[in-house]
Structure 1
Amino acid sequence: MKNKWKLLLSVILVVGLLAGCGSGGNTSSGSANSGDSDKADKGGKAETVNLKVFIAQPRLKEQYDKYIADFIAKEKAEKNIDVKVQLEMPNADNAPQILKTRLASNDAPDVFSLHAVNEVPTFYKAGYLEDLSSQPFVSTLLDSVKPSVTYDDKVVAVPLETLSWGYLYNKQVFSDLGLAPPTTLTEMKAVVEKLKENNITPFVLSYQEAWIPQLFLPLAVGAMTETGNADFVDRMYNDNGSFSEMKAMFDIIDLVNANGTDKALEVSGDDGAAAFATGKGAMWIQGPWYAETILKSNPDFEFGVAPLPINDNPDATLINLSTSTSLAVSPTSKHKEVALDLVNYILDENDSSDFFQSLKFNPLATVHTFDSYPWVNDATEYVKAGKSYQDPRIPQAVKDEVGKGLQSYFANQMSQDDVINALDKAWKDFNKVNK
Structure 2
Amino acid sequence: MFKSKYSLVALLLAFTLILLTGCGSAKTPEATGSAASSAPAKETAAPETAAPEATANANEEAFEISVAHWMLNKDNANAGEYMKQVELKYKATYPNAKIVWNPIQGEKYHELLKAQLATKSAPDVFFHQNALVAFAKAGFLADLSDQAWASHILPSALGEVKYGGKVYGVPVDVSGWGVFYNKKVFADLGLTAPKTFQEFLDLSEKIKAAGITPVTSGYKDGWPIAGSWFSLINFVFGADPDIAKHLFDGTKKINGPEFKSMFAAYEAMVKKGVISKSILSTTYDLAVQQVAEGKAAMHFNGPWVNSFVADKYKVDLGFFTIPDDKGTNFVTSATNATVSLNANYPNKERGQDMINALIDPAILAPFLENSAFSGLDTFIVKHKTTGGQEYSEAIGKQEGKMQPSIWLPPSVTELLNQMTTKISSGKSVSDDDLDAADKAYQRDKGLLNIE
Equivalence for 2:219: 207
Q: Distance in 2 between matches of 1:43 and 1:330?
A: 20
Q: Verify: 1:96 aligned to 2:107, yes or no.
A: no
Q: How big is the shift at 1:326?
A: 1.4
Q: Which runs of 5+ in 1 are unaligned?
A: 1-36
Q: How big is the shift at 1:335?
A: 4.7
Q: Is the 8 A contact 2:177 2:302 kept in 1?
A: yes
Q: Distance in 2 between matches of 1:248 and 1:110?
A: 44
Q: Verify: 1:170 aligned to 2:182, yes or no.
A: yes
Change (3 A) 1:237 1:98: farther
Q: Distance in 1 between matches of 2:287 and 2:73?
A: 13
Letter in 2 for 1:84: I
Q: Is the 8 A contact 2:178 2:320 kept in 1?
A: yes
From 349, 361, 366, the equivalent of 2:372 is 361
Counterpart mapping for 1:72-91 below 5 A: 72-91=87-106
Q: How big is the shift at 1:313?
A: 0.9
Counterpart mapping for 1:146-295 below 5 A: 146=158, 148-221=160-233, 223-230=234-241, 232-237=243-248, 241-245=253-257, 246-257=259-270, 258-295=273-310
**Identity percentage of aligned residues:** 23
Equivalence for 2:383: 372
Q: Which runs of 5+ in 2 are unaligned?
A: 1-52
Q: Verify: 1:53 aligned to 2:67, yes or no.
A: yes
Q: Distance in 2 between matches of 1:164 and 1:318?
A: 11
Q: Is the 8 A contact 2:215 2:297 kept in 1?
A: yes
Change (3 A) 1:224 1:405: closer
Counterpart mapping for 1:2-21 below 5 A: none
Q: Distance in 2 between matches of 1:400 and 1:333?
A: 32
Q: Verify: 1:398 aligned to 2:444, yes or no.
A: no
From 63, 66, 69, the equivalent of 2:84 is 69
Q: How big is the shift at 1:58?
A: 5.8
Which structure has the larger Rg? 2
How many residues align structurally? 389
Q: How big is the shift at 1:140?
A: 5.2
Q: How big is the shift at 1:183?
A: 1.7
Q: How big is the shift at 1:192?
A: 0.9
Q: How big is the shift at 1:282?
A: 0.6
Change (3 A) 1:292 1:128: farther
Q: Is the 8 A contact 1:114 1:326 kept in 2?
A: yes
Change (3 A) 1:237 1:369: closer
Letter in 1 for 2:359: L
Q: Distance in 1 between matches of 2:429 and 2:163?
A: 38
Q: Secondary structure at the match of 1:247?
A: helix
Q: How big is the shift at 1:400?
A: 2.4
Greater alpha carbon shift after TM alignment, 415-424 vs 199-208? 415-424
Q: How big is the shift at 1:69?
A: 3.1
Q: Distance in 1 between matches of 2:269 and 2:246?
A: 29
Q: Distance in 2 between matches of 1:420 and 1:192?
A: 28
Length-normalised TM-score, structure 2 = 0.75
Q: Secondary structure at the match of 2:213?
A: coil
From 139, 148, 169, the equivalent of 1:136 is 148
Q: Is the 8 A contact 2:201 2:269 kept in 1?
A: no
Q: Distance in 1 between matches of 2:373 and 2:267?
A: 32
Letter in 1 for 2:131: E
Q: How big is the shift at 1:342?
A: 1.8
Q: How big is the shift at 1:283?
A: 0.7
Greater alpha carbon shift after TM alignment, 129-138 vs 53-62? 53-62
Q: Distance in 2 between matches of 1:239 and 1:366?
A: 34
Q: How big is the shift at 1:365?
A: 4.1
Q: Distance in 2 between matches of 1:81 and 1:337?
A: 16
Q: Distance in 1 between matches of 2:365 and 2:115?
A: 34
Q: How big is the shift at 1:433?
A: 7.8
Q: Is the 8 A contact 2:237 2:243 kept in 1?
A: no
Equivalence for 2:135: 123
